[in-house]
Structure 1
Amino acid sequence: MKTTIYDIAKAAGVSIATVSKVINGTGRISTDTRERVHEIMQELDYQPSVVASALTGKSTFTIGLLIPDLANPLYAEIARSVEDRGRELGFNLVMCSTDNNPRREGDYITFLKQKKVDGIIISTGISNEAVLQSLHTQNIPVAFVTRDHIPGMDADSVRVDDYLGGYRAASHLLGLGHRHVAVLTEQLSLSSSSDRVRGFIHALEEAGIEEGGPVVVESFSSIEEGRRQTLELLISEDAPTALFACNDLLAIGAVQAAKELRLTIPWDVSIIGFDNTMLAGIVDPPLTTISQPIAEMGRRVMDLIIQEVRGEKKGKTAIVLTPELVVRQSTTFPRKV
């Protein structure tokens, strides 16, 4: 026979109302009592009805997460951090990988609304204001991570200072003596990409490198696209001495292209990435990159949205974290300027 809330209350020696408050995270319940009730729930394998909770307007203890690509280590690491923090706070996670496809984004948001999730964390390039407005109209909490919120939409956000990250990447290459550089970026329609490129160019302009500016190549975010685009850059007559890739996947593709052309990294070409995912330290040579505090971003965005779900905060919060340069073995001074 299925365990009920009455069984939990009897075994724990508390009232049904106390068990209900523990399940819903409400009321002033002592830590000892709360832990005792949770222990009994585990011992008796009690599973609260998510559907019943949703139908009565209560929390389903579920958060949705929209990410562009789970195969990208950045988003895999973000998702893991979000999920771990959610479990600490008693919430489950539903992940949806959208490929930054507007139709898939809309379909997944519809799906998450049907599942009665308590809130949605968005890490994609979604810009469909009608879809986002529907979440606002239905009072579904929304928070953004790795990107800023949509202009005109009141929502929490956690991101790194992408402009500063691009600036620091250029400053590093300039400090090594590079003057002829190129940039490999995701679509510039993504605010994170455009900010990184703007910061990079600003540092070059401050150094007096204005004429022509760097070659900026837009690409889909994959190792193969990074390889393909870098091959074209490096076989040109005006090949750069250094390349800034706006994420680590593109940077690793650039490393593959250089090796394919039998170029030595960093002596023939320096390569710097962005993100500092787990791949950056194991690629050969280890990748110089701009580090995002990935785990912190995941934890903080989950904290924000759960505070919103529980009605514990007033107003919206925009958290901007500082990127750091991590120097490894893929950058050095140029053989010729």
Structure 2
Amino acid sequence: MAATMKDVARLAEVSLATVSAVLSGSTYVSPELTSRVQKAVAALGYAPNTVARSLKKGATKLIGLVVPDITNPFFTELVHEVQKRARTLGYAVLLCDSERDLEQERWYLRMLRAHLAVGAILCATGPDETYKDLANDVGIMPIVAVDHIIRASDYDSVVLDNVAASRIVMQHILSLGHTRVAILAGQQHLVPGRDRLAGFVDGLRAAGLDVIPELVRQGAFGEPEAFKAAQALMKLPEPPSAIFATNNQMLIGAMRALAESGIRCPDDISVVGIDDFAWAAAFSPALTTVRQPVDEMAAAALDMLVERVNGLDVAPRHIVFAPELVVRQSCVAPATKRASARRGKAAKSERAAKAPQLSHA
């Protein structure tokens, strides 16, 4: 049978009021009595029912975290970082996976409100216009959007500079000599999908290259869709020399398609993606990716949410984080350029061998 507060008071030889004061920190208790209560709590394994106490007050220390796909390494890491920081701030996190289903996402938000969550971090799955009546579901419960901005005039947000992320990818790929670069794009109703495609286009135009429509494919931010799109790209009469996957799951799908088709990376084709993840360095070859500062993004989102919970009333704030390119082994110069370089090196060696040799007396 679970220990009660009365058991703690009996063992510590103090009143119930003293135990309550020590556990809540609401009033001063002498170090001696505090020590006795803490030792009794540890000895009995007592766990205070903070949820019940909060419900009596009409509020909890509970926040919601709604993500579209918990199997995506980006969201897995985000969950870990939010939970870790929330714990230090005294909050519990209720995780909800919407599975990219707008109705399921909305149901979770209503459920969080019904359970008196004080706020929520939302990684939204729908287009902006679907959130115009969000307040009807969540009331005054604060929401901070992460990854995809919703109703910028109503809600705080934390996002990556997605245009810049694609630009640095393209700068790297084009600097190696690639001109036929394919992109596996995400849904265009999502900010990351739109902005990453825009950065791809910007990168091409900055290099004086045109967008080749057949090299722009929809991967829907998913592995199976990217697998099919990458297969279709490699069956073109003139396949691309590089593939840019705009999230980690599409990167995995593209690599699987190449492996099953017997196409070698990077010998036959270079591959690069956005969203670094733990396995990226374990692939063969290790994958060149763009890293998002997930720990900083999680901290910023949670801090903004707690500020709202504590009554901060200012215009919505939007924090944009800079991307970082992590160069590994999955991108090299196109095969034609490598062959040309080899021929040039061989010709230089041949000329050197035929050059007259000077003799020294």
Structure 2 gap ranges (5+): 338-361
Partner residue, 2:85:
85
The residue type paired with residue 119 of structure 1 is: G
* Matches for 1:168-179 after TM superposition, within 5 Å: 168-179=168-179
Secondary structure of the equivalent of 1:333? coil
**Larger deviation, residues 315-324 vs 245-254:** 315-324
Secondary structure of the equivalent of 2:335? coil
**Larger deviation, residues 142-151 vs 206-215:** 206-215
Partner residue, 1:150:
151
Secondary structure of the equivalent of 2:220? coil
Secondary structure of the equivalent of 1:336? helix
Partner residue, 1:292:
292
Secondary structure of the equivalent of 2:205? helix
Which structure would you say has the larger Rg?
2
Partner residue, 1:307:
307
Q: Give the whole-Å Cα distance in 2 for the aligned partners of 1:212 and 1:62.
A: 49
Partner residue, 2:72:
72
Q: 1:242 to 1:52 in 2, by over 3 A?
A: same
Shift of the alpha carbon at 1:132? 2.0
**Larger deviation, residues 45-54 vs 264-273:** 45-54
Partner residue, 2:329:
329
Partner residue, 1:195:
195
Structure 1 gap ranges (5+): none
Partner residue, 1:46:
47
Partner residue, 2:180:
180
Q: 1:332 to 1:307 in 2, by over 3 A?
A: same
The residue type paired with residue 89 of structure 1 is: L
Q: Give the whole-Å Cα distance in 1 for the aligned partners of 2:220 and 2:164.
A: 23
Q: TM-score, normalised by structure 1?
A: 0.87
Q: Give the whole-Å Cα distance in 1 for the aligned partners of 2:307 and 2:33.
A: 23
Partner residue, 1:129:
131
Deviations 1:23-59 (A, max 9, x none): 4x8789999999997776555413224144234223x
Q: Give the whole-Å Cα distance in 1 for the aligned partners of 2:263 and 2:89.
A: 50
* 8 Å Cα contact 2:149/2:157 also seen in 1: yes
Greater RCO (Cα-Cα under 8 Å, separation 6 or more): 1
* 8 Å Cα contact 2:160/2:321 also seen in 1: yes
Q: TM-score, normalised by structure 2?
A: 0.81
* 8 Å Cα contact 2:184/2:216 also seen in 1: yes
* 8 Å Cα contact 1:68/1:100 also seen in 2: yes
Secondary structure of the equivalent of 1:281? coil
* 8 Å Cα contact 2:186/2:192 also seen in 1: no
Q: 1:267 to 1:14 in 2, by over 3 A?
A: farther
The residue type paired with residue 267 of structure 1 is: D
Identity, % of aligned positions: 29
The residue type paired with residue 95 of structure 1 is: L
Secondary structure of the equivalent of 1:143? strand
Q: 1:35 to 1:106 in 2, by over 3 A?
A: farther
Partner residue, 1:115:
115
The residue type paired with residue 61 of structure 1 is: K
Partner residue, 2:283:
283
Shift of the alpha carbon at 1:194? 0.7
Shift of the alpha carbon at 1:67? 0.4
The residue type paired with residue 117 of structure 1 is: A
Partner residue, 2:98:
98
Secondary structure of the equivalent of 1:113? helix
Shift of the alpha carbon at 1:144? 1.4
Q: 1:229 to 1:214 in 2, by over 3 A?
A: closer
Shift of the alpha carbon at 1:80? 0.7
RMSD: 3.1
Deviations 1:94-149 (A, max 9, x none): 11111221111111111111221111100122343255222563x21111122224
Partner residue, 1:57:
58
Q: 1:22 to 1:318 in 2, by over 3 A?
A: farther
Partner residue, 1:227:
227
**Larger deviation, residues 241-250 vs 302-311:** 302-311
Partner residue, 1:317:
317
Q: Give the whole-Å Cα distance in 1 for the aligned partners of 2:35 and 2:225.
A: 51
Q: Give the whole-Å Cα distance in 2 for the aligned partners of 1:194 and 1:223.
A: 19
